[in-house]
Amino acid sequence: MFRRLRSPIQRAITYRHLHRRSISHGDSTAVYSFGDNSMGALGLPSPLYDAYEPTRLPLEPSHGFVSSIAAGHYHSLAVTSAGEVWSWGRNDEAQLGRSPPTSRDKWHEPRRVEGLESVRARAAFASGVVSAVVGEDGSLWVWGRSKRGQLCLGSEITEAIKPTKVNSLAGENIVKVAFGWGHALAMTEDGKLFGWGNAEDGGLGRIMLQVCSSSDTIAEEGMHIAWEPRELEELDGRRVSDMACGLDHSIVLCKNGMLLSCGRNTYGQLGRRGEEFEMLPVVLPLPAVSVTAGLGHCLVLGRESTEGGGIISWGWNESSQLGRRGESDIPGEVCTMEGEKVVGVSGGRVHSVAVSHEGEVWTWGSGRNGRLGLESTMDVPEPMQLESLEGQRVLQAVCGFDHTLLLVAVQ
């Protein structure tokens, strides 16, 4: 079961599924961060390289309040109630959407993304080198730099300093995007699933076979790339309710309750034995509601979690990011919460975070750089509550590779 941390072990010197709760009348929000700030992903000024407990960002949107947050590997995004998008963190690949690109000593400063003045954003997503926004009209906009096709702008465009519309998905009402190291998935409101990018790791399922048979998909590095989005036909007409991408694998939750996985299985991240480059079923101990993925591990909310059930995990467990004992390559329950409802989970490189319906936060896994927010650098093998936020209502929690973001209601 969940444990509460009663005392700090070591004081420091010095964010579908991303759950978003509704804001009550009269409330505003604040963004808090903790973990590794070496790339400015925490949005906190230098020389603060690590934050070991939740620290409030100096983020004050020009209109409205922050309504959702997103974390790339080393950068962060925020969407406001007015549809603006703000960014901070690593900018080597222009993933902050600033022109001209700012110097490194300015990366940590939250600034509004340029070029989206005509777009009212409803959600943001990010990888290591690419950022994306979905507009209220279901349009997809991307920026950053990727030779692996993650921009979805065709083989001639591998860099976009400012947001650029993905015309190849025009007419589709996109609701969610997920990025792996080189591949990407997009889900539509009616449950269709599209994939693009590097196909060789198998994260795109059978698209790999289609792409690798075509010589015009080969990139400079010899990788086979799907430069344009392709619908995943192997779903055989099944509609999708959620999906996620890890480093080199994907998991897809169908509306009929079936969970599928594909890609590399180096860490057991497919949730089944064997390495398959096509989507095959994963057997779960509980019916799934939503899915998310860290670098090499997966987290699923079980349907019973809305009535005190559990979180399911599997995959890489080097730093206890699964939050449980037992075979790591087979799905198993992390914990139960008597009288509580788990409404959101997120995974980073080697840590994980969960949010309850009451707005409480639990973290587990690697404590390096303070990424658990528990005022410690020690690994935590099972979920512990962030007591430093006691009395505050957390709406959303998301993990980057080595940092964590929280969206907190402020009255």
Q: Which domains does the chain have, with CATH numbers?
A: 3-410 (2.130.10.30)
Supply the DSSP symbol for 53.
E
pLDDT at 25: 45
- 163 within 8 A of 116, measured Cβ to Cβ: yes
Strands 3-4 vs 380-385: parallel, antiparallel or unpaired:
parallel
pLDDT at 175: 98
Return the ∠ at Cα 405 (arms to 399 and 409), rounded to 5°.
Answer: 135
Strands 111-112 vs 85-89: parallel, antiparallel or unpaired:
antiparallel
Other CB atoms within a 10 A radius of the CB of residue 256 amount to 8
**Which residue intervals of 173-232 are DSSP H helices?**
207-212
pLDDT at 102: 75
pLDDT at 307: 47
**Which residue intervals of 51-152 are DSSP H helices?**
none
pLDDT at 96: 97
- 218 within 8 A of 149, measured Cβ to Cβ: no
Strands 75-80 vs 288-293: parallel, antiparallel or unpaired:
unpaired
Collect all residues with Cβ–Cβ distance below 8 Å to 271 and sequence separation of at least 6: 251, 259, 261, 282, 283, 284, 298, 314, 315, 329, 330, 331
Collect all residues with Cβ–Cβ distance below 8 Å to 238 and sequence separation of at least 6: 254, 255, 256, 258
Tokens linked to 64: 């409205």
Strand order in the sheet with 288-293: 288-293, 297-302, 310-315, 332-336
pLDDT at 47: 63
Give per-10-residue mean pLDDT for the chain (411 aa).
Answer: 35 33 67 96 84 94 94 98 97 92 88 95 97 98 95 94 96 97 96 94 81 58 85 89 97 96 94 82 93 97 66 96 95 74 94 94 96 96 91 96 97 76
pLDDT at 11: 25
pLDDT at 303: 79
pLDDT at 159: 95
* Exposure on the CB side of residue 178, measured as CA atoms within 13 A: 29
Give one DSSP letter per residue of 295-311, joined into a string: SSEEEEEEGGGGGT-EE
